[in-house]
C-alpha cells in the first residue's frame, strides 16, 4: 500500500503510517529499529531495495531522506516536504517513508526525521554515497547509535580511509569493512589449522578498492608483520599470501565467487567466497549495534604504513620429526666417513702386497 503526501508535515506522515497499518490489518508496531538512508535520487532505488531485502531479517522503519537540488534562487528560499508512505508488501516486512526535501528544509533534515523515529528503538543511519567526513558530528548521524558509510563509493577511497581514521567515533562502520568478513574468517580458520609463525603477508586486489587496504591493515595490525599491497585486475580482492616458517598459506579467488585455500602439506580446498550483495552487507551490520573495536583498530593502523614495494620472503621450511633426526645423523657421520676413507685404503694396499710375496 502506498500513500502519497505533497507539501506535508511529520505529523501528517505519522497519521498516514497509522492509517496504512490499519488498512492492511496490522495495527501493532513490530519493528526493532529505525534505518535512516541519506541518499540522492539517482541511488535511492538501489538503496531502498537493499533495505527492503534486509528487513526480512530485521523488521524496521526505513526513512529515506532525499535532498532535492533547487534550480532557481526562488525555489531555494521555499521549503517543501513531500513524502511517500509504504506499508505491507511494498515495504518488505516493515514500513518505509520516502522523504523528499526541497528548499531550506534540506539543511534541517534532522528536524523532519526526529518525529518519525520509532520510540525506544535503536537508530542506524546509512549513507550509500556522499557520506560526510565526520558522520558522528553530522546532524543526522548524531541521532544514531550506528553510522554506516561506504568508502567504495568515494572518489578517492584510500584518502577517504585516512579521513575516516581521523574522525572515527565508536559506532562508525563501513561497508568496505563488512565486505571482507568472509575473508577474515577464512584466514583466521586457516591459521588455526597449523602451528606456524607468519613472516610476511601479501594482499592482492584491484586498485582503488578500500576493502583490500582494510584487509591488509587488519592483518598488519593483528599479526605485527610486514604486509605488501599488490595490484591485480580484480574483481575486488583476489588473493592473500602468507609466508610462514612451515610453508605458504594462500587464499586465492580469481573469479569473484570460488576461492582455493592452499596450506603446505595439505590438499587444496575449494571454498565459497562470493562477492555479496548490498542487502547482505546491510543485514550483517544490523545484527550488531555495539562499537566495532576490531574495525577501529585496523582503521587506525594507517594506510601509509602498508608497503607496496616490500618483497615477500620465501618461507623457511624447517625439517620435522624423523626426517630431521636422519638428516642430522647423516651430517654428523659425513666427516667421519671422509676421515676413515684414507685409512681403509692404506690397509687394503698392505694386504695386497703381503699376498703377492
Residue 344 has pLDDT above 50, yes or no: no
> In 3D, which of 194, 177, 190 has the Cα closest to residue 259?
190
The residue ranges of every structural domain in the chain are 2-149, 181-305
Average confidence (pLDDT) over 10-34: 84
Residue 319: which pLDDT band, with cuts at 50, 70 and 90? very low
Which pLDDT score, from 0 to 100, does residue 32 have?
Answer: 87
Contacts within 8 Å (CB) and 24+ apart, 150-157: 150/174, 150/175, 150/176, 151/175, 151/176, 151/210, 152/176, 152/179, 152/209, 152/210, 152/211, 153/128, 153/129, 154/210, 156/208, 157/208, 157/209, 157/210, 157/213
The percent of residues in the chain predicted with pLDDT above 70, rounded, is: 82
Instruction: Count other C-beta atoms under 10 Å from residue 313's C-beta.
Output: 10
Separation of alpha carbons 354 and 296, rounded Å: 88
Which pLDDT score, from 0 to 100, does residue 79 have?
Answer: 86
User: DSSP per residue over 277-326, as a string?
Assistant: PHHHHHHHHHT--S--HHHHHHHHH-GGG--TTPPPPPP-PPP-HHHHHH
Average confidence (pLDDT) over 256-279: 91
Average confidence (pLDDT) over 285-297: 93
Average confidence (pLDDT) over 263-274: 91
Which pLDDT score, from 0 to 100, does residue 75 have?
Answer: 65
Residue 147 has pLDDT above 70, yes or no: yes
Which of 34-43, 72-81, 229-238 is least confident?
Answer: 72-81
Q: Which residues contact 217 (CB under 8 A, 6 or more apart)?
A: 227, 298, 299, 301, 302, 303, 305, 306
Within the chain, residue ranges assigned H as helices are: 10-23, 41-54, 73-76, 109-113, 157-166, 175-178, 181-192, 210-223, 278-286, 293-301, 321-356
- Report strand pairing: 33-39 vs 123-126: parallel
Residue 238: which pLDDT band, with cuts at 50, 70 and 90? very high
Residue 307: which pLDDT band, with cuts at 50, 70 and 90? low
Q: Which residues contact 250 (CB under 8 A, 6 or more apart)?
A: 239, 240, 241, 242, 260, 261, 262
Tens digit of each residue's pLDDT (9 = 90 or more) over 81-95: 999 999 877 777 789
The answer to whether 238 and 254 are in contact (CB under 8 A) is yes
Predicted TM-score of the model (pTM): 0.81
The answer to whether 144 and 114 are in contact (CB under 8 A) is no
Q: Return mean pLDDT, the chain.
A: 84
Which pLDDT score, from 0 to 100, does residue 350 have?
Answer: 45
Separation of alpha carbons 349 and 352, rounded Å: 5
Instruction: Count other C-beta atoms under 10 Å from residue 170's C-beta.
Output: 12
Amino acid at each position: 500500500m502506498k500513500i502519497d503526501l505533497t507539501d506535508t508535515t511529520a505529523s501528517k506522515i505519522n497519521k498516514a503510517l497509522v492509517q496504512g497499518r490499519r488498512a492492511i490489518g496490522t495495527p501493532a508496531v513490530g519493528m526493532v529499529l529505525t534505518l535512516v538512508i541519506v541518499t540522492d535520487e539517482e541511488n535511492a532505488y538501489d538503496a531502498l531495495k537493499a533495505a527492503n531485502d534486509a528487513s526480512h531479517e530485521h523488521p524496521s522503519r526505513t526513512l529515506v531522506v532525499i535532498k532535492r537540488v533547487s534550480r532557481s534562487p526562488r525555489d531555494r528560499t521555499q521549503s517543501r516536504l513531500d513524502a511517500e508512505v509504504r506499508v505491507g508488501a511494498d515495504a518488505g516486512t516493515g514500513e518505509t517513508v520516502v522523504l523528499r526535501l526541497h528548499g531550506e528544509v534540506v539543511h534541517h533534515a534532522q528536524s523532519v526525521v526526529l518525529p518519525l523515529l520509532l520510540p525506544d528503538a535503536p537508530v542506524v543511519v546509512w549513507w550509500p554515497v556522499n557520506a560526510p567526513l565526520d558522520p558522528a558530528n553530522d546532524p543526522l548521524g548524531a541521532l544514531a547509535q550506528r553510522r554506516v558509510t561506504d568508502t567504495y563509493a568515494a572518489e578517492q577511497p584510500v584518502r577517504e580511509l585516512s579521513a575516516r581514521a581521523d574522525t572515527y567515533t565508536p559506532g562508525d562502520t563501513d561497508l568496505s569493512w563488512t565486505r571482507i568478513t568472509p575473508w577474515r574468517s577464512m584466514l583466521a580458520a586457516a591459521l588455526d589449522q597449523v602451528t606456524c609463525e607468519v613472516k610476511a603477508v601479501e594482499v592482492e586486489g584491484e586498485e582503488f578498492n578500500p576493502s583490500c587496504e582494510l584487509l591488509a591493515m587488519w592483518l598488519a595490525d593483528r599479526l605485527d608483520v610486514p604486509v605488501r599491497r599488490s595490484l591485480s585486475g580484480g574483481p575486488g580482492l583476489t588473493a592473500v599470501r602468507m609466508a610462514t616458517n612451515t610453508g605458504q598459506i594462500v587464499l586465492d579467488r580469481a573469479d569473484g565467487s570460488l576461492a582455493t585455500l592452499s596450506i603446505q602439506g595439505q590438499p587444496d580446498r575449494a571454498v565459497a567466497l562470493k562477492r555479496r550483495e548490498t542487502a547482505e552487507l546491510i543485514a550483517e551490520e544490523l545484527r550488531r549495534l555495539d562499537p566495532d573495536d576490531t574495525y577501529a583498530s585496523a582503521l587506525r593502523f594507517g594506510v601509509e604504513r602498508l608497503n607496496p614495494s616490500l618483497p615477500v620472503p620465501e618461507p623457511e621450511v624447517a625439517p620435522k620429526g624423523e626426517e630431521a633426526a636422519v638428516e642430522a645423523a647423516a651430517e654428523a657421520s659425513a666427516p667421519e666417513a671422509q676421515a676413515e676413507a684414507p685409512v681403509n685404503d692404506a690397509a687394503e694396499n698392505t694386504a695386497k702386497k703381503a699376498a703377492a710375496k
